[in-house]
Amino acid sequence: MYYLAFVQQVVIYINVFMKKLLLVLCVYFHFISGINAQVVYIQDFESVTLSGLPLGWTQLVASGTQNDSVGWNSGSASLLGSVGFTPSDHTWFVAVNDDKHEHANNSNSLLISPAINLVGVSSPYLYFDCSFIQSAYGGFTEQATVEVSTDTGRTWTVVATMIGNTSGWWESRYISLVAYAGRPSVMLGFRYKDNTGWELGWGIDNVIVYTPPASDLAITAISPNTSFPGNYGAPGNRTNFSGTVFNAGRNSITGFNIIYQQGAGTPVVATVSGIVIPPFTSYNFTDTAAYTYPALVGNYPFKVWIAAIGDANHSNDTIGTSLNTVMFMPAKRLLVEEITSTLCGDCVRGIIYRDSIFKNDSNKVSIVSVHDKGSPSSDPMATGNGRVQNYDTYLQSIAGYNGLPGVFIDRHYFCDPASLFTNFNKVKNYFGFADLTMDASLDGANTINVGVTLHPAIDMYGDYRVELVITEDNINNSGSDYAQHNSYSFQDLNLPLSGVGFNFQDSLAIIPGSSMNYQFVTRYVLPDLLTSAGGVLASLPASLYADSFYSYSFDPIHMLPNWQLSNLKATVLFIDNNPTNSTYMQVLNSSHTRVHMTTGVSDMVKTDSPLMIYPNPARDKAIVQFGLPMAGMVIIKVLDALGRELIALPENYINSGIQQAEITTSNLTSGIYSVQIITSSGTYKGCLSIFRQS
């Protein structure tokens, strides 16, 4: 079922999950307070014994092989879930799991509620929490319907057909039962069909029948928000608030006001009009009036609330957030760690999407590919040393891991490679906490030496650490164990993949290792993640102060004979190791650079052309000309006098000989800057002057 792992796109549905929690709280407040709501029936499944059903609930399942994957069972996510079917974050619920056994017979599994009396109930609605992906595997598509019976279960009428959300995260569903108002005996049915295929399943929780209020608009999300590192800005930076409202009432909403108040300041009102928000739907808004980050460093709390005509429930109208003014905005580089294997035919997705994102955003992302040993044979790129295997084991122990293929972003969000761009774009502008400046060199003793300098933008206290990963690109080997299995081949599923690089659809089902070029392959990790996960112990002091500089040199690494210097890269991770922090064990920022020989500039370039920068002084742009003795990957950076990275051109493969690149300098103020050209054979350094007339 590795093929099904692509549906677990956890990252991009975190906001959906948060919205769901808020909506459940909102609905329950209605029930408790009785504001414009008539509650008829509630079942949260919390008091049900393992594998049982609540009192009065029954089920009908198709005849055939009976096992613990057939029909409806109650339990927690750990008890009811499996590799492909992973509903989570609900303590106890009911579910039918078709994924747990390949031959589970869930061709017709019907969960039936007790009879519900709707006599005297006006405008009844059904609310429930739903975890449903609607997978399609092996030529079959799973199906989930909500049905109603008014004749004690003899006949059933479909009132709603579920549409999956491609993630499996819980969503709130609302279904009208108005057609059954006044009926004395209404039974609800939740029918799941795998249509004879090997599919996933359906989870249900918090079944509620009630009359919703006529008008009820709730604010469910705000951005920037305090839950994620996206509410930071330097003095003078500007930001727009955006958010989501949800119409929890029976009537459509055609407009509302958004009110913002910073601390005890004067509230600011923005009007949203000319819209239609149907009942039980969300609406995303953005306030066009940008807010300016104050000049003084600190936290500035905001209260945000909404006002809609006729809204009688104000308990869900308000949400809080804050803005943080910091000394400067560090250059954020997300860490993408792919767990992969030559034996995993679906893992070629990772090769396509990972290479594509690095090509487009190499200055905003660091990428590491960690090969899994697999079974029954070994992936040769996973068995070079025990540290690589321990690295793979550690990543698979992180919460959210759901099987191959998959990638972690900052060791926090796990997603399928196919959703990498979507997730990357959502979080690429998050706060980076500190700038990382690094150098990696190979000395005459064949030893790799890596040093990093950390420049925090805020005061940070506690256990923060750095970690080092050495990777190698362009690995090519004719050995049979280097052959890449390919589920996208014309010989297999023949599924299209869109991105840069290799065309796997037109390739063999097993691609010879000599035809592959593996990138970002892990060669060494410091520390050993088996014994010291979370970075090198005591690599940074317990107090990190804003606008100060902290340097650390990693233990030397002996370069193995099969490593190619021109393809080696060093990646440094800045990690939060404070258990009480919301970002515990997450990567706050990263940086990467090529490993080069420790030689002088005069020995590095074997061409007749020296490093040149012109015009110099420059104003809006400068041309950097340099010579390369051999082709390879090149990074060009501009740093200020304090070593802060101001400009980083995307890493590119450049041919040998005399080359040049253009640097846009229009955003630089007058002063002297350092230009670095980092290549596999060494680092070029030059000075760039910027002069602007006052």
Q: Which two tokens stand for residue 496?
A: 């299209």
Q: What is the mean pLDDT of the chain?
A: 85
For the stretch 234-252, pLDDT in tens is 999 888 889 999 999 999 9
pLDDT at 162 over 90: yes
pLDDT at 63: 57
Average pLDDT over residues 271-277: 95
Give the N- to C-terminal CA distance of the chain in Å, as an integer: 65
| Lowest pLDDT segment from 137-146, 267-276, 361-370, 602-611 | 602-611
pLDDT at 291: 86
pLDDT at 145: 98
For the stretch 213-224, pLDDT in tens is 999 999 999 988
For the stretch 375-391, pLDDT in tens is 656 789 987 678 998 99
Average pLDDT over residues 478-496: 83
pLDDT at 9: 29
For the stretch 31-54, pLDDT in tens is 333 345 689 999 999 977 767 899
34 versus 374: the higher-pLDDT residue is 374
CATH code that applies to domain 2-211: 2.60.120.200
Assign 227 a pLDDT band (cuts: 50, 70, 90): low
For the segment(s) 334-596, the CATH number from 2.60.40.10, 2.60.120.10, 3.20.20.70, 2.40.50.140 is: 2.60.40.10
| Lowest pLDDT segment from 15-29, 79-93, 423-437, 663-677 | 15-29
pLDDT at 609 over 60: no
pLDDT at 496: 67
Phi, psi of 576 (to 5 degrees): -90, 115
Mutual angle of helices 348-361 and 420-427, in 10-degree steps: 40
| Lowest pLDDT segment from 33-47, 51-65, 220-234, 332-346 | 33-47
For the stretch 184-206, pLDDT in tens is 999 999 999 998 888 889 999 99
Choose from 252-261, 368-377, 597-606 the range with maximum mean pLDDT.
Answer: 252-261
Choose from 271-280, 426-435, 613-622 the range with maximum mean pLDDT.
Answer: 271-280
Residue pair 341/379 in contact (Cβ under 8 Å)? The answer is yes
pTM of the complete model: 0.68
Q: Would you list the domain boundaries of the chain? A: 2-211, 217-325, 334-596, 601-690
Residues 6+ apart with CB under 8 A from 388: 370, 371, 381, 382, 522, 523, 524, 525
Assign 3-class secondary structure to 232-278.
EECCCCEECCEEEEEECCCCCEEEEEEEEEECCCCCEEEEEEEEEEC
pLDDT at 608 over 80: no
Residue pair 282/19 in contact (Cβ under 8 Å)? The answer is yes
Q: Is 78 exposed, middle or buried (CB count within 10 Å of its CB: 0-12, 13-18, 19+)? A: exposed
Q: Which two tokens stand for residue 629?
A: 């003795």
Domain 217-325, architecture per CATH: Sandwich (2.60)
CA–CA dist 422, 409 (Å, integer): 12
Cross-strand pairs, 247: 217
DSSP notation for 77-104? HHHH--SS----S-SSEEEEESSSSTT-
pLDDT at 249: 94
Same fold across 2-211 and 334-596: no
CA–CA dist 475, 523 (Å, integer): 11
583 versus 226: the higher-pLDDT residue is 583
Secondary structure letter of residue 566 according to DSSP: G
Assign 648 a pLDDT band (cuts: 50, 70, 90): confident
pLDDT at 612: 79
CA–CA dist 572, 453 (Å, integer): 10
Residue pair 256/245 in contact (Cβ under 8 Å)? The answer is yes
For the stretch 114-131, pLDDT in tens is 999 999 998 999 999 999
pLDDT at 20: 37
For the stretch 527-564, pLDDT in tens is 999 999 999 999 999 999 999 999 999 999 999 988 99
Element of type H or E holding 358: helix 348-361
pLDDT at 337: 97
pLDDT at 11: 28
658 versus 237: the higher-pLDDT residue is 237
For the stretch 133-148, pLDDT in tens is 888 877 789 999 999 9
Average pLDDT over residues 667-686: 82
CATH code that applies to domain 601-690: 2.60.40.3080
pLDDT at 611: 73
Q: Which two tokens stand for residue 134?
A: 């609607």
